[in-house]
């Protein structure tokens, strides 16, 4: 038992899950990750490999890996062993069990999920132990992948997202003198067909462990099958493996198409990728056909091909869909709008939800609809979407009107309107109902209106931004603060978040949408504490559980000011 493990062990030598210092575990792991990224930047690959070994054998890194797989959305989904780590003793035991020696992954549990085109996508679900081992090795691999990644790759990368990709396309095509042609590209079955040989020869991770994951096979209807290619969708490390397999194309295109050609004419080739979907811009279809040939050769070495049905060259005046948006120039002006297909699918889901709740109360229906409407508008609020939002509101109103009229077929229309759309404070035609708050007071619960969301321009992340570079820490802090202000949070949550500087009061680490948070009463309500903001703090869910566990056992606790 090492020193770190001994500090959080019970007298009988068993690791105490709630006794682990989360802040110290995070800091120790982050410190090693920063050193790995620095070694790669300096070209010291052997040193990076040694640091990776140190990290994957670190007790604190194992704690972080187990914490991740027991807090994410798939924590209750078991693999072929039907095992989940849902108790503190099970999590503590799992940390000790993450050992390289003797490790043998189990086959994946194969399930199928529907795709938008009607086909089915295979999903492989690893066991909890295999997920934790992947999370552990991902901690050591991600600093390298972030340091060597293509600058305009945005999918499955920390601190980056769809909106950054959209903004980069706008930057590359908005002006009149910029590229007017686009190669829309899609890789056929990217995750399912990546060459195992290429991954084993080129991914800078523990090759023996990686080979075991790739060759683990899968179980479907009780029958085990081998895997000869691909990395399973559902594995924690799979997106990073796919990203690293696709990294490098930007450099090849830049070499083949320098900014200025022999006659002084720029080809204006730009490459923007999100996961396995990407576009390449150019001055003409001929330029893009050449770029397509280079891309096909690049993918061939990795066992991949472009999808013939989804790969095409279009003019920006015709427009193209990418990531749920339509990019098009109207009379020379670039606009990014929600794609018609995306809007259609969203409204189909809303209508299905309303139809399946014909007998629900108005309050329950509003509580079901609001998160879906708010989430969809949050995704599109940085684009030219005001008109679309109004259209969506009208479509939802029409469906709700039918819902309300069906419930009261013998009542006049004005009676139905007064019941479900009562006039209040000068606001008319708002689907609302009066409910009781926690103090027993009557308050109005309104249906969220998409048109109420203001359009805010997104600020794209810097192409060379690296979260494992200490020199860019201040940049990421400022970016995180700005994004939090733009997101839809309650006034009290925003107040608490800002008063704590966006930090958990227990471990001192950032509170994000990904980590989630709990509102904790400093003086418990059972001990006379109130719901006043001065008695509330925000904490990570796991830190919150840890605090309550320590209090219940009479152990000391401390809350940091952030």
pLDDT bracket for residue 95 (50, 70, 90): very high
pLDDT bracket for residue 561 (50, 70, 90): very low
Could you tell me if 80 and 220 lie in one domain? yes
CA-to-CA separations, 142 to 72, 193, 421, in angstroms, rounded: 18, 22, 51
Could you tell me if 12 and 133 lie in one domain? yes
CA atoms lying within 13 Å on the CB side of residue 134: 25
Contact 113, 215 (CB under 8 A): no
Per-residue pLDDT for 475 more than 90?
no
Of the candidates 424, 452, 480, which is a domain's last residue? 452
Question: Is 72 domain-assigned?
Answer: yes
Tell me which of 76-80, 172-176, 345-349, 515-519 is least confident: 515-519
Of the candidates 182, 208, 228, which is a domain's last residue? 228
Contact 58, 32 (CB under 8 A): yes
Tell me which of 105-109, 221-225, 284-288, 289-293 is least confident: 221-225
More confident residue, 425 or 423: 423
Question: Is 124 domain-assigned?
Answer: yes
**Taking residues 518-538, what's their average pLDDT?**
76
pLDDT on residue 241: 95
Question: Is 481 domain-assigned?
Answer: no
Of the candidates 210, 228, 246, which is a domain's last residue? 228
Contact 92, 15 (CB under 8 A): yes
Phi, psi of 218 (to 5 degrees): -145, 160
Question: Is 308 domain-assigned?
Answer: no
> Residues 202-211: pLDDT tens digits?
999 999 999 9
Question: Is 348 domain-assigned?
Answer: yes
Could you tell me if 434 and 528 lie in one domain? no
Could you tell me if 107 and 47 lie in one domain? yes
**Any alpha helices (H) in 194-336, and if so which ranges?**
196-202, 207-214, 238-246, 249-256, 285-300
Per-residue pLDDT for 262 more than 60?
no
Q: How many residues does the chain have?
A: 562
Contact 356, 338 (CB under 8 A): no
pLDDT on residue 523: 79
pLDDT on residue 263: 43
pLDDT on residue 534: 80
Give the count of domains, the chain: 3
For the chain, what percent of residues have pLDDT higher than 70?
92
Per-residue pLDDT for 93 more than 50?
yes
Per-residue pLDDT for 489 more than 80?
no
Could you tell me if 14 and 83 lie in one domain? yes
Helix (H, G, I), strand (E, B) or coil at 286: helix
> Residues 119-155: pLDDT tens digits?
777 888 999 999 999 999 999 999 999 999 999 999 9
CA 485 – CA 491 distance, rounded (Å) = 11
Per-residue pLDDT for 13 more than 70?
no
CA-to-CA separations, 64 to 27, 28, 415, 544, in angstroms, rounded: 10, 10, 57, 16
pLDDT on residue 10: 60
pLDDT on residue 511: 85
Domain that residue 387 falls in: 340-452
Contact 320, 279 (CB under 8 A): yes
Residue 536 DSSP one-character state: E
More confident residue, 556 or 166: 166
Per-residue pLDDT for 278 more than 90?
yes
Distance of alpha carbon 378 from the chain centroid: 14
pLDDT on residue 562: 41
Contact 518, 501 (CB under 8 A): no
pLDDT bracket for residue 11 (50, 70, 90): low
Helix (H, G, I), strand (E, B) or coil at 66: helix
Hey, what are 196's tokens? 């195992």
Per-residue pLDDT for 239 more than 80?
yes
Residue recorded with tokens 């709700």: 400
pLDDT bracket for residue 495 (50, 70, 90): confident
Could you tell me if 19 and 123 lie in one domain? yes
Could you tell me if 438 and 495 lie in one domain? no
One DSSP character per residue, 359-423 reads TS-HHHHHHHHHHHHHHHHHHHTTSS-HHHHHHHHHHHHHHHHHHHHHH-TTS-HHHHHHHHS--
Question: Is 155 domain-assigned?
Answer: no
Could you tell me if 442 and 504 lie in one domain? no
Question: Is 181 domain-assigned?
Answer: no
CA 366 – CA 143 distance, rounded (Å) = 43
pLDDT bracket for residue 264 (50, 70, 90): very low
Could you tell me if 129 and 206 lie in one domain? yes
Per-residue pLDDT for 1 more than 60?
no
Q: Could you give the angle at which helices 128-148 and 238-246 cross, rounded to 10 degrees?
A: 30
pLDDT on residue 23: 80
Question: Is 31 domain-assigned?
Answer: yes
Tell me which of 260-264, 332-336, 357-361 is least confident: 260-264
Could you tell me if 500 and 439 lie in one domain? no
Q: What is the mean pLDDT of the chain?
A: 89
* Terminal Cα-to-Cα distance of the chain (whole angstroms): 32
C-beta contacts of 23-31 below 8 A and 24+ residues apart? 23/506, 23/507, 23/508, 23/509, 23/560, 24/60, 25/60, 25/61, 25/63, 25/64, 25/67, 26/64, 26/507, 26/509, 28/4, 28/58, 28/60, 28/61, 29/55, 29/58, 29/60, 29/61, 29/64, 29/139
Could you tell me if 15 and 127 lie in one domain? yes
pLDDT bracket for residue 183 (50, 70, 90): very high
For the chain, what percent of residues have pLDDT higher than 90?
62
CA-to-CA separations, 186 to 173, 233, 234, 322, in angstroms, rounded: 20, 17, 20, 11
Could you tell me if 500 and 369 lie in one domain? no
> Residues 54-78: pLDDT tens digits?
999 999 999 999 999 998 888 888 8
Residue recorded with tokens 């798939």: 74
pLDDT on residue 12: 58
């Amino acid at each position: 038992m090492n020193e770190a493990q001994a500090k959080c062990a019970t007298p009988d030598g068993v690791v105490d899950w709630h006794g682990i210092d989360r802040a110290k575990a995070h800091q120790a792991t982050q410190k090693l990750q920063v050193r790995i990224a620095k070694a790669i930047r300096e070209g010291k690959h052997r040193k990076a490999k040694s640091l990776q070994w140190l990290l994957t054998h670190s007790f604190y890194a194992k704690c972080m890996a187990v914490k991740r797989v027991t807090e994410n959305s798939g924590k209750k989904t078991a693999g072929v062993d039907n095992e989940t780590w849902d108790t503190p003793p099970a999590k503590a035991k799992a940390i000790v069990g993450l050992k390289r020696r003797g490790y043998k992954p189990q086959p994946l549990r194969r399930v199928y999920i529907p795709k938008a085109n009607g086909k089915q996508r295979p999903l492989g679900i690893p066991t909890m132990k295999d997920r934790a081992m992947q999370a552990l090795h991902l901690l050591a691999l991600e600093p390298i992948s972030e340091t060597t990644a293509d600058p305009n790759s945005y999918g499955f990368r920390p601190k980056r997202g769809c909106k950054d990709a959209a903004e980069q396309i706008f930057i590359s095509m908005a002006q009149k003198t910029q590229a007017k042609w686009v190669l829309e590209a899609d890789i056929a079955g990217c995750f399912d067909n990546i060459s195992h040989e290429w991954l084993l020869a080129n991914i800078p991770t523990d090759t023996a462990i990686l080979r075991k994951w790739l060759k683990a096979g899968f179980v479907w209807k009780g029958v085990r099958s081998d895997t000869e290619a691909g990395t399973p969708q559902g594995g924690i490390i799979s997106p990073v493996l796919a990203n690293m397999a696709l990294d490098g194309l930007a450099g090849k295109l830049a070499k083949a198409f320098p900014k200025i050609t022999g006659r002084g004419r720029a080809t204006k080739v730009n490459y923007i990728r999100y996961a396995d979907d990407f576009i390449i811009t150019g001055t003409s279809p001929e330029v893009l056909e050449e770029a397509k040939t280079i891309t096909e050769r690049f993918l061939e070495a990795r066992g991949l091909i472009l999808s013939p049905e989804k790969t095409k060259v279009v003019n920006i005046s015709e427009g193209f869909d990418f990531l749920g948006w339509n990019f098009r120039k109207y009379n020379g002006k670039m606009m990014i709008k929600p794609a018609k297909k995306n809007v259609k699918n969203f409204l189909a889901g809303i209508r299905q939800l309303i139809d399946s709740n014909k007998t629900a109360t108005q309050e329950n229906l509003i509580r079901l609809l609001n998160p879906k409407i708010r989430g969809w508008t949050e995704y599109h609020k940085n684009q030219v979407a005001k008109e679309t939002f109004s259209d969506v509101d009208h479509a939802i109103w029409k469906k709700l009107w039918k819902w309300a009229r069906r419930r009261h077929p013998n009542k006049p229309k004005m009676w139905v309107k007064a019941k479900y759309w009562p006039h209040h404070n000068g606001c008319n035609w708002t689907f609302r109902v009066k409910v009781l708050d926690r103090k027993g007071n009557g308050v109005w619960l309104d249906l969220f209106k998409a048109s109420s969301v203001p359009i805010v321009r997104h600020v794209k992340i810097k192409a060379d931004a690296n979260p494992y570079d200490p020199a860019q820490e201040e940049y990421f802090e400022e970016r995180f603060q700005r994004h939090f202000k733009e997101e839809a949070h309650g006034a009290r949550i925003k107040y608490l978040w800002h008063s704590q500087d966006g930090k958990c009061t227990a471990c001192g680490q950032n509170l994000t949408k990904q980590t989630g948070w709990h509102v904790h009463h400093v003086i418990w309500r059972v001990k006379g504490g109130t719901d006043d903001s001065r008695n509330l703090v925000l904490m990570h869910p796991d830190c919150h559980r840890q605090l309550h566990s320590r209090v219940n056992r009479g152990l000391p606790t401390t809350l940091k000011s952030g």
